[in-house]
Amino acid sequence: MLQSGEYLISSTLWVRRSNITVDGAWPWPVLRRSVGFTQELMYTDSGSNPSWVTIRNIYFDGNRYNGATSTSFELNLYGCSYCMVTGNALFISSPYFALGTDNTKPQAVTYVNLQGLEYLGIYTSNGGTQCSDASGWSPSRCLNVSNSWFYSIGVNAIGFDLNNALIAYNSFNYNHTKCLFGAPGGQIDLDTGSNDVLVQNNSFTNGPSCPNDFWAVGVELHGSNIALVDNVIQNNTGEGIYMEGVHNISVSSTNPSAYPISNNNERGHGYNGCWGFPAIRIHTMTGKPQSETITISNLWLTAGQSYGVEASACRTGSGPPVLGLTVQNNCVAGNLVGGLYLPAAWYPALSNNQTSGCGGY
Amino acid sequence: MSKLLSALSTFVMFTALVAAEPPLQVQVTANIEFFEHMFATLDMAPETARSTFLSHLGIPKEEHQKVLSVAAEFSSKEAQLRTQAQSILALKGAEQSVLLGSIRAERTELLHSDAVLLMKSLDSGSRQALLGRISQMQKLIPKRVSN
């Protein structure tokens, strides 16, 4: 039990034992990064490979407003199997990456707040053999990010290579505020190494414009076998969902009026060439992998200043065709330019997509 | 005999109803992680983001003000307790331990009572919807599976 108080951290706290809870006593203790210290505040030592560690009731303060810098994480869970960060864990003011998770081990982040971070909220990677068996706990997912709050994070709230993952019931609001990688991007980015991810019942809202003239989109996809179900994606500056080089993607809802993808493209009609940002864009570009097997169904894709769904090489000229695109049973009304624009899609299967008389239009 | 059977049937139905709908206090206690997280989020979120968070939880807009009032009250009282706790932390020995224990208990009680108050402030439909959502969220907390 870590006693209440503020601890100025200038060397890493190592967690090497298994079957323990690293707990804080209320008022929750604050681990604050010392200016000049750039390593992890807390690290589950990958040398000893601990398991069943729970970390809770601790504030991790990256102290960036007082000049602290970092080349690592506030908390790094690398090497830790069946390890969880939960209740009242808070990550604030991180100058770099806040929480590192290891995609070779089962890990969970639930009921956690991440706010005011310079770069990334949760960075998932390792490079070893990806975790495939999480049967020791339920839900049996290798990465479980749930019930958490992500606000005002400079780049992605979650990235990049998630495997056998569940992202559910989180609120992502006003993230990707700085576009520090010199590009637009998603409040979450499931990159090329992401595989088998369920994104369910989250909200992705108010992704802003960045000071360097790039912008935030709701969800950015480059991976494989990803399902987005029942997510609210609204009022993002760029697209609601942007995908490129993806395989086997499904975007759907069980109740389209309750989970709209609407009012995106806050930058407005005509921004950045083409026709602005659609609710869902499948982008193709020479030199990038081909997108194939994408289903978009039972959604309200409304109230944008461009299209409901666009599959094109917009802004980049040309690219490989999009194969196996199905767009069915959607409402694509209320978009300024039109419902569907799919010049890059090879024989898409289209059915029952309404351009009026639905979604309040 | 038929009266006895009828009475028994009524008793069984009543028991089933009670079993199906545990008292609010019990439901709050069983899901206290949710309420603690909710209060903490509303406390730290900028004012403009609070309503977005409540909408994310599926709470209708017309109910937001009620929830925000209870949450603000909790934050204010919790801040007072935190200030007291921090002054006690400067003390030494057994006295510190006893006083801190007492304040922590008070804070736990406040958390439970304000969570109940929050739920009671919602109309019946919103309350049931929120309880349903909490139930889904609680299922996502990983539980160890014995082999």
- Note whether B82 contacts A: Cβ–Cβ < 8 A: yes
Distance spanning both ends of chain B, measured CA to CA: 50
Structure tokens at A80: 């830790």
Q: Do B44 and A25 touch (CB under 8 A)?
A: no
Which residues are bridge partners to A297 per DSSP? A252, A328
Mind listing the pLDDT tens digit for each residue in A42-53?
999 878 999 999
Q: Do B37 and A87 touch (CB under 8 A)?
A: yes
DSSP for A267-327? T-TTTTSBTB--SEEEE--TTSPPPEEEEEES-BEES-SSEEEEEE-TTT---PPEEEEEE
Q: Which chain B residues touch A171 with a CB distance below 8 Å?
A: 52-53, 56
Q: Do A26 and B37 touch (CB under 8 A)?
A: no
Q: Which chain A residues touch B140 with a CB distance below 8 Å?
A: 110, 139, 144, 146-147, 166, 168-169
- pLDDT tens digit at each of 361 positions of chain A: 999 999 999 999 999 999 999 999 999 999 999 999 999 999 998 789 999 999 999 999 999 999 999 999 999 999 999 999 998 889 999 999 999 999 999 999 999 999 999 999 999 986 778 998 999 999 999 999 999 999 999 999 999 999 999 999 999 999 999 999 999 999 999 999 999 999 999 999 999 999 999 999 999 999 999 999 999 999 999 999 999 999 999 999 999 999 999 999 877 776 665 778 999 999 999 999 999 999 999 999 999 889 999 999 987 778 999 999 999 999 999 999 999 999 999 999 999 999 999 999 9
pTM for this entry? 0.94
CA distances from A77 to A13, A41, A109, A256, B140 (A): 12, 11, 11, 37, 20
Which residues are bridge partners to A302 per DSSP? A262
Distance spanning both ends of chain A, measured CA to CA: 57
Distance CA A262, CA A184 (A): 19
Contacts of B18 (CB under 8 A, 6+ apart): none
- Note whether A51 contacts B: Cβ–Cβ < 8 A: no
